[in-house]
Amino acid sequence: MSISCGALAQSAPYPNTRIENTQGLVQAEEGTYQFIIHDSKVMPAFTTNILYFIERERKQSIDVAIPLSENVTLFIPSREKINSENFEALAEMEL
């Protein structure tokens, strides 16, 4: 699957994805984010904490790409995109 990004914000490399207090936060729903794997020999493992991080980083009208490591980029479509009628759920991982 290829991703059409339109406007895309890119974050500084390797952010801290840990969120200490998740009270009142919403988790990202499956299909509304994608881990892009740049090296098929690497299979990342994440805790459910990353789902809070994804929603915290999601922008209203700009898609976001966040490098989590040299081998993994996290793609987060905008709220406008995931709420549009023609949004197609993303595979969780793209190799």
H/E stretch holding 64 reads strand 63-67
30 lies in which domain range?
A: 8-94
The answer to whether residue 70 sits within a structural domain is: yes
Q: What share of the chain is helix, strand, coil (3-state, %, to 5)?
A: 15, 20, 65
pLDDT tens-digit map of 16-40: 777 778 888 899 999 999 999 998 8
Question: Which pLDDT value is given to residue 43?
Answer: 82
CB contact at 8 A, 11 and 56? no
Residue 5 has pLDDT above 60, yes or no: no
Does residue 2 sit within a domain?
no
Tokens matching residue 37: 């794997």
Which pLDDT score is estimated for 28?
A: 96
What separation, in Å, do the N-terminal and C-terminal C-alpha atoms of the chain show?
Answer: 9
User: For residue range 42-91, what is the model confidence (pLDDT) as tens digits?
Assistant: 888 888 899 999 999 999 999 999 999 999 999 999 999 999 999 999 99
Within a domain: 62: yes
Q: 66 exposed, middle or buried (CB, 10 Å; 0-12, 13-18, 19+)?
A: buried
Structural domain includes residue 27? yes
Work out how many domains the chain is built from and give that number: 1
Q: Which is more confidently placed, 41 or 85?
A: 85
Residue of higher predicted confidence among 83 and 2? 83
Q: What type of residue is 4?
A: S
List residues bridging with 64 in a β-sheet. 9, 76
